[in-house]
Amino acid sequence: MAGSGRTKRLTQKQIAELAGVSQATVSLVLSGRTDTTMRISESTRQRVLDLLQETAYAADPAARMLAGQSNNLLGVFTYEPAFPYESADFYVPLLTGVESAAEDLGADLLVFTSAPVLEGKRRLLQPGTRLRLADGCVLLGREMDKDELRELVELDYPFVAVGRRDGDERIPYVGVDYATAVADLTRRALALGHRRFLYLRLPFQAESTQDRLAGFLEALASSGEAVAHDVVESSSASQAIAAIEDAAPTVVLIEDPAQVAAVGDVLERTGVGVPDGMSVIALSGRDNGSAGGRDVTRLVAPRTELGAAAVKLLWKLINEPGTVSEAERRVMLDCQIAAGSTLASPRRS
């Protein structure tokens, strides 16, 4: 087998010739099948296995799938670009968790990047998809195509969505409990004496956005206090600043991390000050942030743990599907809070 240059990939026929057996015997050894009338002695099986290992032979993934065998290959698909610079803070911890868990399980990752963009959104289930090369797939993205998720369920294809998903109760996911964390932050603001709230939400219908808002409204409704609040969709820093000027809150909760820094800069520049003139809370779920150079009071989503938990659940759905309980199929992880320095008692007039 020694020689210079790149080694040519051997075929099953060549493996069979080297082992002195039929190609059918090699195929059976590769498939791992034992439910066959063709008897293979243990010595013959071991001779083939040793030769396969010696030649670093790798069975065609599609052929293994057709034979009902696992490739130990896990897919990763994102419904929005994962690698632009502005997405790094969101996706890098997630993908770090995905990679680490896959490594621990001895699995390889296949990132599906050829999915077409239709009507401004990526689609996974299209003609020519290579989805079946992977044993299962981890799905990432703020908003996912609900029809595709239902179709994956109907196809009985193993997958796990990252983030809570409404709709079909058969959809497996690992999400973050944003509602409880946002409610906790809102109660902290109430306890400090805030009674004029502004909530700046992203213009999306994603479940994570809905959960954050639900936690905020629940905390206000259960407080028993007379509280003024405005909820405004904000897709830019200029919209955020305009909403703050109109509402004149004592505390503003901001979902878009890019707007947090911009708002902090404007408040400092105009002499309002953070938190002396106005408190700022970041709901982005990211583990860092700044507002006027200050350590922001914020949510800290366990993104690395989220990615790892999704891979572990997917692995179990692939290899032990009958043992996965309903509770294990839909998991919510706790969201932490970084106290920061941008939430304080409102300045009294």
Specify the 3-state DSSP secondary structure of 346.
coil
For 132, which DSSP code?
G
The pLDDT of residue 83 is 63
Task: Give the contacts of 30 (CB within 8 A, at least 6 positions apart).
Answer: 12, 52, 59, 64, 67, 69
| Same topology between domain 12-59 and domain 73-176+304-336 | no
In terms of Cβ atoms closer than 10 Å to its own Cβ (0-12, 13-18, 19+), residue 272 is middle
The pLDDT of residue 348 is 61
The CATH number corresponding to 73-176+304-336 among 3.40.50.2300, 1.20.1730.10, 2.60.34.10, 3.30.70.80 equals: 3.40.50.2300
| pLDDT of 343 higher than 50 | yes
Q: Which of 264, 155, 243 is closest to 201 using CA atoms?
A: 243
Phi-psi map region of 292: left, alpha, beta (phi>0 left; psi -120 to 50 alpha): left
The pLDDT of residue 298 is 94
Specify the 3-state DSSP secondary structure of 82.
coil
The CATH number corresponding to 12-59 among 1.20.140, 1.10.287, 1.10.260, 1.10.10 equals: 1.10.260
The pLDDT of residue 234 is 95
Cα 61 from Cα 133, distance rounded (Å): 6
For residues 138-146, give the mean pLDDT. Answer: 91
| pLDDT of 349 higher than 50 | no
The alpha-carbon radius of gyration of the chain (Å, integer) is: 27
Q: Are 338 and 322 in contact (CB under 8 A)?
A: no
Q: Which ranges in the chain belong to alpha helices (H)?
A: 12-19, 23-31, 42-54, 61-66, 88-105, 146-154, 178-191, 207-221, 237-247, 257-269, 303-319, 326-329
For residues 243-250, give the mean pLDDT. Answer: 96
| pLDDT of 61 higher than 80 | no
Q: Which of 74-88, 145-159, 255-269 has the lowest mean pLDDT?
A: 74-88
Q: Average pLDDT, whole number, for the chain?
A: 86
Domain ranges in the chain are: 12-59, 73-176+304-336, 178-301
For residues 7-13, give the mean pLDDT. Answer: 63
The pLDDT of residue 51 is 80
The CATH number corresponding to 178-301 among 3.40.50.2300, 3.40.50.10470, 2.40.10.10, 3.40.50.300 equals: 3.40.50.2300
